[in-house]
A and B are shown apart, each in its own frame.
Chain A
C-alpha cells in the first residue's frame, strides 16, 4: 500500500514534469520569441536600406570630403573609383550586406580602420553612459513614486508631480548646459568636458560621467516617476485585489509594495523598454556637448565626413538595440505576467 502510494507520487511528478516540458516547448511565449526574432531580421535590413538610401542622397561623397574643397573633379573621380564609390548604389549596398552578414562591417572611408574595431570601443562608452543614466533614474524614480502614491494629493505627491512635469519640459541639451554652468563653472565640482576610461581611473571616470549621465537621467527620472505614480494610484483605487488585501488586514505599505507595485512594475518595464530609442537619440547630443567619445559622437562626425560605412554601422547598432529592447520587453512581460498568453487560442 505504502509502495503503491510512492509509485503514484513519482508517476504524478513525472507526468507533471513532462507536462511542464511539453507546455514550455509549445508555450506561446517561446513561439513569440521565434516570431519576434524572425521579424527583427527584415526590420534591421529595412533600416539598413533606408540608411544607405538617405546617405546616398547627401550631396558630396567621402572622396570629396577627404580631398577638401580645392580638389579638381578629376582627382575626386579617381579617388571615388579607387574607393569603389562610382559603382551603382545597390551594388555597393549588396556588397556591404554580404560582408555585414559575415560580421565584416567594412573599413572606414576616412581612417581606413575596420569599422568594427572603432565601434567596439565607442559602444562601451555609450553603454556606460546609458546604463548609468538608466540605473540612477530608476533607483530614484521607484522610491519617489512609491512615497507619492502612498498618500496621493498630499504635499510630497504634489511636489514630486510638479518637479516631474516641469522636468519633462526641459530639453536635455539645455539641462546639460545648466549643469555645466552650475557644477562645472560655478562650483567646479565636476569636469565640464572630457572622458577618462574606467580602466585608467575609476574615480575620474565616474566624475567625468556624472554630468552627462545626470543630463540624461533627470528627464528619465521625471518620466518614470510620473508614469509609476499614476499607475500605482490607478491600482490602489478600485482594483479588487487591493480591496481584498486591505480587507485581509494587510498594512498599507505592504499592499502598496507587495501588491500594487508588483502589478505596476509590468507597465514600468514596458515604458523603460520602449523609451530606449529616445535615450539613444539623447546620447548623440549629450556626447557632443561633453566631448565623450561614444557611439553618438562617432556617428555625428561620420555624417559630417560622409563616412557611409561608419554611419551605416552606427545606425544598425542603434536599430538592433531598439529592436532587441522591444523584444526583451515583450518577453519579460510574458514571463512575469502569467495571464499573458500571446497568440494562444
Chain B
C-alpha cells in the first residue's frame, strides 16, 4: 500500500514539471504563430478597415508631422504621406514577396530535390552540379544583378529572389528524400507498381514536408530581410510605393533629424522576422527536425 502511495506520489511530482514543459512548448508555438497571424491581418486587412490615409500622394503641406499628430498616428514623412499607412501597405508588399518567393522556392526546389534524389544517377549529378554553381554564388550579389536586369517591380523582385531560394530548398529536399529511399515502405510501394509521380506525391512529399516547412519558416525571415535589402538599395519595390526596405532607405538621409522614419519600419521588420524565426524554431522542436 505504502509502495503504491510512494509511486503515485512520485508520479504526481513528475507530472507537474512535465505538464509545465508541455505548456511552455505550446506557448512557444502559439505566441509566434499568433504574432505572424497578427502581422498578416494588420497588413492585409488593416488598410481595408482602418480609417487611415492612402500610402502615397500625400499633401506636402502635411510633411514631417511628428508622431501622434491628429489623423497621423506615427506622423508623416517628408512627402506628407502617413507613416503608419505606409508601414501597413509596405508590409503587405514585403509579405506578398516573401510568401510568393517561399511558395515558388518550395514548389520548384522541393520538386527538383525530391526528383533528383528519387531518380538518382546522372540526373541527380547534373541537377546537383547546376545547383552547386548557384550556391557558390553569393546570393545577394546575383539577386542584385537579376533585379537590375529585370528592372524594379514587385513581380521581378519575386522572380529574382525565388531564383536563389530554389537551390537551398532543393538540397534540403534531396537530403530528406535520400534518407527515405531505402525505407521498406518505399520498396513496398515500388513493388506494388506505383508510378513515379504517385510515389512523389503520396509517399515522398508527406514525409519530407516537416523538414521543408521548418526550413521555409526560417526562410521567410531571410527573404523578408533580403527583400528589404533590395528595396534599400533601390532595386526592389520602386518608390513612391512603400516597402519596409525603401522606407528605411529613404529615412537614412535624415537619420539624425527624424529617426522615426527609420525606427518605425525597422521595428515592423524586426517583429515580423522575429515572429517567423520563433515559429520556425518552435515547429522544429515540435516535429523534432534537426
Q: SS class of chain B's interface: helix, strand, loop or mixed?
A: helix
Residues of A near B39 (CB, < 8 A) are: none
What A residues does B262 contact at CB under 8 A?
A: 174, 177, 181
Contact of B194 with A by CB under 8 A:
no
Which one of B145, B150, B259, B281 has the highest number of Cβ atoms from chain A below 10 Å of its Cβ?
A: B145
Which residue of A is nearest B134, CB measured?
A50
Residue contact A177 to B145, C-beta cutoff 8 Å: no
Known A-B contacts A174-B248, A181-B255, A181-B259; the reply to A165 vs B278 at CB < 8 A is yes
Contact indicator A50/B142 (Cβ below 8 Å)? yes
Q: How far is the CB of A84 from chain B (nearest CB, A)?
A: 21
Stretch at the interface among A12-20, A110-118, A314-322: A314-322
Contact A318 B138 (CB under 8 A): yes
Q: Is B139's CB within 8 Å of the partner chain A?
A: yes
CB <8 Å contact, A174 and B269: yes
CA distance A285 to B227 in the complex (A): 12
Q: Which residue on chain A has the smallest CB distance to residue B277?
A: A169
Does A57 have its Cβ within 8 Å of any Cβ on chain B?
yes
Q: Does B252 contact A (CB under 8 A)?
A: yes
Complex Cα gap A57–B160 (Å): 13
Contacts of A281 in B (CB 8 A): 138-141
Q: Is the CB of B145 within 8 A of A178?
A: no
Would you call B141 and A299 a contact (CB within 8 A)?
Answer: yes
| A46 and B133 contact, CB distance less than 8 A | yes
The residue in chain A whose Cβ has the minimal distance to the Cβ of B249 is A173
A278 to B138, CA, bound (A): 7
Indicate whether B146 reaches chain A with its CB closer than 8 angstroms.
yes
B162 to chain A, nearest CB (A): 15
**Cβ–Cβ contact B148 & A303, under 8 A:** yes
Is residue A311 contacting chain B, with contact meaning CB distance below 8 A? yes
Q: Chain A's nearest CB lies how many Å from the CB of B11?
A: 23
Which residues of the other chain, A, contact B138 by a CB distance below 8 angstroms? 277-278, 280-281, 315, 318-319, 322
A50, A169, A288, A318, most chain B CB atoms within 10 A: A169
- With A173-B248, A177-B252, A181-B256 in contact, is A319–B145 under 8 Å at CB? no
Asked if A138 CB lies within 8 Å of chain B CBs, one says no
**Most-contacted residue by chain A among B138, B141, B262, B270 (CB, 10 A):** B138
- Known A-B contacts A55-B149, A323-B136; the reply to A168 vs B277 at CB < 8 A is yes
> Residues of A contacting B137 with CB < 8 Å?
47, 50, 277, 315, 318-319, 322
B130 CB contacts on chain A under 8 angstroms:
46
Residue of B149, B256, B281 touching A165 (CB-CB under 8 A)? B281
Q: Which residues of B sit under 8 angstroms from A278, Cβ to Cβ? A: 138-139
- A58 and B148 in contact (CB under 8 A), knowing A43-B133, A288-B233? yes
Range, interface on chain A: 35 or more
On whether the beta carbons of B273 and A169 are closer than 8 Å, the reply is yes
Whether B277 lies near A185 (C-beta < 8 A) is: no
Q: Is the CB of B252 within 8 A of A284?
A: no
Whether the pair B141, A280 counts as a contact (CB closer than 8 A) is yes
Q: What residues on B are CB-neighbors of A166 within 8 Å?
A: 274
**Chain A residues with Cβ under 8 A from B274's Cβ?**
165-166, 169
| Contact assessment for B132 and A43 in the assembled complex, using a CB-CB cutoff below 8 Å | yes
Inside 8 A of B173's CB, which chain A residues have their CB?
A: none
With contacts A181-B259, A285-B232 known, what are 16 further pairs, Cβ within 8 A?
A: A39-B132, A43-B136, A55-B149, A58-B145, A169-B221, A173-B228, A173-B248, A277-B136, A277-B137, A280-B138, A281-B141, A285-B229, A299-B141, A299-B144, A315-B141, A319-B137
Task: Provide a sorted-by-A list of 29 A–B residue pairs whose CB atoms are within 8 angstroms.
Answer: A43-B132, A43-B133, A44-B136, A46-B130, A47-B136, A50-B137, A51-B145, A54-B149, A55-B149, A57-B149, A169-B270, A169-B277, A171-B228, A171-B270, A174-B266, A174-B270, A177-B248, A181-B255, A181-B259, A277-B135, A281-B138, A282-B140, A284-B140, A285-B233, A288-B233, A299-B141, A300-B233, A304-B148, A322-B138
